[in-house]
Amino acid sequence: MQHVQPSGEGPRDDDIVEMLRDGAHVRAFERLVERYERKVFRLCCALLRDPDQARDAAQESLVRVWRALPRYDRRATLSTWIYTITRNRCLTALGQRRQLDSISDPAVAQAAETAQAQQAQQAQQADPDCDPLQLLRELVDALPERYRQSIILFYYEERSVSEVAGMLGLPEGTVKTNLHRARAMLLERVRGLGLGDLQLWLENAA
């Protein structure tokens, strides 16, 4: 691909698939990048937490998409196919990260298991006077992984359950359950902070 056009009017998946059918792979990929680069980046951010790693993973995912584009057989929808490639790339990155951690320190594996609990505890002990949004984000980060991913993508994707389900490769019902449990856990943890009028605190945070 030589020239990626700047974002303009959003192309549809059907148009991109039509271009692929006609053999116009370069043009199809340009449209695909316009349509999916932000979503792929957000998915990587949600899965990897680290923006720098997310950027690299998003780029590599799109390179993989470009390489695999001639072999796209339309058995899955275009978005499902792209998100699957992206998730696989992120899983590889997470695996490499774990491997590096375990090479550098054998105790890290055990520490990783307790890290999440500690994070939650730290959030619970956080100063109530600090930025409420920052505190809320810390509480979200301390959620179990599947709840955290669902709730983050839900708000990144403007509250679209179907979009989150597609990105994570989960049924919509599972995403709804994850969201419900994530909210319940968040409320419970915010209550645990002892901030007085919870609703007022949340209103102030918003």
Partner 1 sequence: MNDRTERPAGHPAERTLDRGMDRGMDRGMDRGVDRALDRALDRALDRALAAGLVAPALPADFRRRLQGALAHAERQDIAALRDALEHDYAAQLAQLRGGYVRLRQRTLGTLIGLAFATGLAVMLALPWITVHWGPNGVFALPILGTTVGLALSLRAWWPGSRFARQLPW
Judged by beta carbon, residue 69 or residue 108, the one nearer partner 1 is 69
Q: Is 103 in the site for partner 1 (CB under 8 A)?
A: no
Residue from 11, 60, 146, 195 binding partner 1 (CB under 8 A): 60
Indicate which single residue of 38, 74, 97, 98 sits in contact with partner 1 (rule: CB under 8 A).
38
Q: Which stretch binds partner 1 (CB under 8 A): 76-84, 118-126, 160-168, 182-190?
A: 182-190
Listed in sequence order, the residues at least 6 apart from 120 whose beta carbon sits closer than 8 Å to its beta carbon are 139, 142, 189
How many residues lie near partner 1 (CB under 8 A)? 41
Of 15-23, 54-62, 69-77, 98-106: span binding partner 1 (CB under 8 A): 54-62
Q: Which of 73, 104, 127, 199 binds partner 1 (CB under 8 A)?
A: 199
Figure out which of the listed residues 12, 74, 97, 183 binds partner 1, where binding follows CB under 8 A.
183
Out of 57, 165, 186, 189, the residue judged to bind partner 1 by CB under 8 A: 186
* 128 near partner 1, rule: CB under 8 A: no
- 55 belongs to the binding site for partner 1 (CB under 8 A): yes
